[in-house]
Amino acid sequence: NTEKAMEQLYHLLKSLGEDIKPNTINAPMAMVDFSSLKQMLGGARKDVLLQLPPMTDRNKLMAMKLMAMLVLYYNQQMTHLSGYFSCKMIRMSIQHGHCEDTVFALSVFACATMNFLGDTNEAASLAKCALSMSRLYNSEQLIPRIYSRIYGGVLCFTQPMATSLPPMLKAC
């Protein structure tokens, strides 16, 4: 049952120090958070993400994994909570260091910047930042999760399609 699984995820997050009540998060709140983070990371400031230390707190690492699952679920449901959780993950990374799931959150954030705010240049810049950060991790697991968003959702609109096809095929 999906509802029980979601309850369990939120219960686990609470035990890890992340007490999130999804019913209290509405679309306007998520958009304010999204816009605030976009402004904070605007221009060259996103390079700060690449200079962060790796995340070492095991509770935060597990919380990031659980929130990544929520992003996937809410993205499929096409709700504002997908963007909310990607923002929360990026903010957690800024405070506690980056991890593989930071790369995923950045790729989701880049797509949302493109789709919801129509900011092609900033979306492309965020996508390239996510690609740079992905090089810090030698993880084949990241490729399907991030390439589809980065190349299929952002960079295919900012560079020739021929350059996006090989990475998108690699994601399959």
Across the chain, which has 172 residues, the per-10-residue mean pLDDT values are 88 94 90 88 80 95 95 85 92 95 94 85 91 84 81 80 70 68
Residue 151 CB: number of other CB atoms within 10 A?
24
0.85 exceeded by the pTM? yes
> Do 164 and 148 meet the contact criterion of CB atoms below 8 Å apart?
no
Question: How far does Cα 15 stand from its chain's mean position?
Answer: 22
